[in-house]
Amino acid sequence: MRIAVIDDEKYSRVELIHQIRQQMPQAEIAEAGNGVQAMALLEKESFDILFVDIHLGDMEGTTVASLARRLMPEAKIIFATAYSEYAVTAFELGVDNYILKPFDPARIRQVLERCGQAPQAGPARGSGRLAISSNRHTILLDVEEVTYIETDGSGRGCRIHTLSGEEYPDNSPMSEYESRLVAQGFYRIHKTCLVQLSHIQDIFPWNNSSFALRVRGSSAALPIGRDRVKELRRRLNI
């Protein structure tokens, strides 16, 4: 198995390579520290999986990904980024997945499993549940019960909403929940809101030619970012 890690930040490259080796000790891993090095590497070698930083020092990672797609149409391409909003860009360009910085070992395993290249992990204890620290209590919620998660307005934490109508405050940032739940059917419809797609009840026109949606168990109108409508429709097959 041949993997390329392309990132202009040395620390990120080293950390990602380390985490990949933890999952796939036999993999052959090459690296490039900028776009020019990446282009040269792709011209002379082929890979099964490529991890590409979306912002390289000398060019956009999208340029590298486009070349890789032409040269190696069967390769799996994963964007790496510190900004979750670029997830939509990743899917629009037809790459296979994305990971957020700082890298989460569980997310790396998940991505490799989706590429079919990592051993499947056995059921993790509590893997279908969320542990939420709320009002000095640890509350365990079934992921299936969560309808949406929104920022708390302070920029420091979130509020988790459930089918029963209950609401739980939590100190974790939205990006952490997005990274943990994207593979379980959640999608970030706005910078302030992450929804479980299976709980969407209806989508309707909103202010200034935009759209909003409602989820089961709530009457709240949740605005959809203009740049996220297309991807949301694709995911819902509408």
Res 12 pLDDT > 70: yes
Q: Are 86 and 191 in contact (CB under 8 A)?
A: no
Lookup: tokens for 203? 């989508």
- On average, the pLDDT of the chain sits at 84
Domain residue ranges of the chain, discontinuous segments joined by +: 2-114, 130-236
Place of tokens 């080796």: 21
pLDDT band at 118 (very low <50, low <70, confident <90, very high): low
Q: What are phi and psi of 224, to 5 degrees?
A: -105, 125
Closest CA to 14 of 103, 83, 112, 138: 103
Lookup: tokens for 135? 């009002």
C-alpha neighbours within 13 Å on the C-beta side of residue 233? 11
CA angle 180, 7, 229 (to 5 degrees): 45
Percent of the chain with pLDDT over 70: 87
Cis previous bond, 173, omega within 30:
no
CATH superfamily of 130-236: LytTr DNA-binding domain (2.40.50.1020)
Give the type of residue at 185: G
When mean pLDDT is compared across 2-6, 19-23, 153-157, the lowest value belongs to: 153-157
Summarize the confidence of residues 96-123 as an average pLDDT.
74
Summarize the confidence of residues 202-226 as an average pLDDT.
90
Compute the distance between CA of residue 232 and CA of residue 236 in angstroms, rounded to an integer: 6
What per-residue string of b and e applies to 137-175 under the rule 16 or more CB within 10 Å gives b?
eeeebeeebbbbbbbeeeeebbebbbbeeeebebebebb
The separation between the first and the last C-alpha atoms of the chain, rounded to the nearest angstrom, is 37
pLDDT at 123: 34
Q: Are 131 and 140 in contact (CB under 8 A)?
A: yes
Res 90 pLDDT > 70: no
CA-only gyration radius of the chain, Å: 19
CATH superfamily of 2-114: Response regulator (3.40.50.2300)
pLDDT at 223: 94
Summarize the confidence of residues 217-228 as an average pLDDT.
92
pLDDT band at 222 (very low <50, low <70, confident <90, very high): very high
90 SS3 class:
helix
pLDDT at 119: 47
pLDDT band at 62 (very low <50, low <70, confident <90, very high): confident
Compute the distance between CA of residue 109 and CA of residue 55 in angstroms, rounded to an integer: 23
pLDDT at 53: 92
DSSP β-bridge partners for residue 131: 140
Closest CA to 82 of 114, 109, 105, 104: 104
Summarize the confidence of residues 139-152 as an average pLDDT.
89
182 burial via Cβ count (<10 Å: 0-12, 13-18, 19+): buried
Summarize the confidence of residues 62-73 as an average pLDDT.
89
C-alpha neighbours within 13 Å on the C-beta side of residue 62? 10
